[in-house]
Amino acid sequence: MNIFIDSPMSNDARRKELYAGSIFFHKPCSGSIKLCDLARKLTEEVFKPFDPRKIQESMPAERVAEILAVLKPKFIHHVKSKEFIQEMLGELGCDLGKTYFDVPRMRTAFPGDYLKSGIAYAFHPHRDTWYSAPFCQINWWMPMYPINAENCMAIHPRYWSQPLRNGSSQYNYYKWNLESRQTAAQHVKSDTRIQPKPEEPVELDPQFRLICKPGDVYQFSAAQLHSTVPNTSDLTRYSIDFRTVHLDDVWSRTGAPNIDSACTGTTMVDYLRGTDLSHLPPEAIALYEDGTETVYKNPATAQVITNEVAS
Ligand SMILES: [Fe+2]
């Protein structure tokens, strides 16, 4: 497991490293700066005249949740958001004809217990692969404002090769989309939606907290265990993340190893091609639809999946 800073490595070689647990950190480029600028502009508009990082001092959590429920989708589906991601991917050596991305998410982590469920969910330690992400998915993460060690995200490298008992066998992405996602803003003080969580104590240390600035972006595999750092600062953290897959790896089912994921359904339906925003071919999505990728990657979960699919 290595951490590469501004590496000139080719994208093919970089993905291999990412599938082996490495992390890639990139300095600001034109697309990443524009994406952050757009996100900050939209955020500052809705919280005017307050500083978005101190909004918890001026508004009740319920009102902030209502505002975020409008702001976040606006950013996610903004035509410029996609444009700036395309620009960023091109600048960072990705082949846009074969790189597919999903729409960017805006995340918030408020200080203390102010608001940490629903629309501002404070993520417990998880792998995205517990949430039906394919093992070739690569996550891209960037802060919108300067962050520090008290209001960032953490990666827990111990679990790259150590399985963790978890609830992913109960998770199906299609079912989640139908039943739970739309209600995020209603969960202000607690979140009753069933999500795949660790089912045994997690040793959070050692952990990486990459402290970077707006415009910086880092990449890590969807199979990395990661979590929201409890925000003990007095500033709300705003960040952006999105995900990519590469067509060659989708077809060949190349990616990180699966050591403990057993979910069904797939997020493959979400990715858009870097050139024209078209979806992946249906035959490629079908390779991931029934959970056989997790079986393929980890024969130990085969029985679990077979039972899940059968029931
Ligand atoms: Fe995640």
Tokens coding 167? 């609830």
Ligand 1 centroid – CA 5 distance (Å): 22
What band does 80 get if pLDDT is binned at 50, 70 and 90? very high
The more confidently predicted of residues 85 and 182 is 85
Ligand 1 centroid – CA 147 distance (Å): 18
Ligand 1 centroid – CA 311 distance (Å): 28
Ligand 1 centroid – CA 128 distance (Å): 5
| Cα gap 9→29, rounded to integer Å | 16
Mean pLDDT (whole number) for 82-90: 98
**Res. 176: pLDDT tops 80:** yes
**Res. 236: pLDDT tops 80:** yes
Q: Enter the pTM of the model.
A: 0.90
The pLDDT of residue 115 = 81
What band does 11 get if pLDDT is binned at 50, 70 and 90? very high
Q: What is the pLDDT of residues 50-65, one digit of tens each?
A: 999 999 999 999 999 9
The more confidently predicted of residues 177 and 273 is 273
Ligand 1 centroid – CA 49 distance (Å): 32
Mean pLDDT (whole number) for 189-209: 85
Start-end of H helices in 124-231: 173-179
Mean pLDDT (whole number) for 249-257: 95
Ligand 1 centroid – CA 223 distance (Å): 9
**Res. 194: pLDDT tops 60:** yes
Give backbone dihedrals phi and psi of 257, rounded to 5 degrees, phi first. Answer: -70, 150
Ligand 1 centroid – CA 227 distance (Å): 7
Q: How far from 14 is each of 10, 31, 40, 43, CA to CA, in Å?
A: 6, 20, 30, 33
The pLDDT of residue 120 = 63
What band does 257 get if pLDDT is binned at 50, 70 and 90? very high
Ligand 1 centroid – CA 240 distance (Å): 12
Ligand 1 centroid – CA 81 distance (Å): 20
Ligand 1 centroid – CA 10 distance (Å): 25
Share of the chain residues as helix, strand and coil, in percent rounded to the nearest 5: 40, 15, 45
Ligand 1 centroid – CA 225 distance (Å): 8
Ligand 1 centroid – CA 275 distance (Å): 25
The pLDDT of residue 184 = 54
Query: What count of residues does the chain have?
Result: 311
**Res. 295: pLDDT tops 60:** no
Ligand 1 centroid – CA 90 distance (Å): 24
Of 155, 131, 144, nearest to 204 (Cα)?
A: 155
The more confidently predicted of residues 180 and 40 is 40
The pLDDT of residue 190 = 56
The pLDDT of residue 65 = 92
| Cα gap 209→255, rounded to integer Å | 24
What amino acid occupies position 52?
P
The pLDDT of residue 203 = 95
Ligand 1 centroid – CA 155 distance (Å): 10
Q: For the chain, what is the largest distance between any 2 Cα atoms, rounded to a whole number of angstroms?
A: 56
Ligand 1 centroid – CA 268 distance (Å): 16
Distance between start and end Cα atoms, the chain? 39
Ligand 1 centroid – CA 134 distance (Å): 13
**Res. 181: pLDDT tops 70:** no
**Res. 41: pLDDT tops 80:** yes
Ligand 1 centroid – CA 127 distance (Å): 6
Q: How far from 58 is each of 233, 237, 281, CA to CA, in Å?
A: 17, 16, 48
What amino acid occupies position 129?
T
Facing residues of 25 across strands?
5, 218
Ligand 1 centroid – CA 177 distance (Å): 16
**Res. 69: pLDDT tops 70:** yes
Ligand 1 centroid – CA 241 distance (Å): 9
Mean pLDDT (whole number) for 192-208: 90
What band does 173 get if pLDDT is binned at 50, 70 and 90? confident
Residues with CB under 5 A from ligand 1 (ion): 128
Q: What is the pLDDT of residues 133-142, one digit of tens each?
A: 999 999 999 9
Mean pLDDT (whole number) for 280-291: 88
Mean pLDDT (whole number) for 30-48: 98
Ligand 1 centroid – CA 156 distance (Å): 12
Tokens coding 290? 């029934």
Ligand 1 centroid – CA 68 distance (Å): 19
The pLDDT of residue 293 = 65
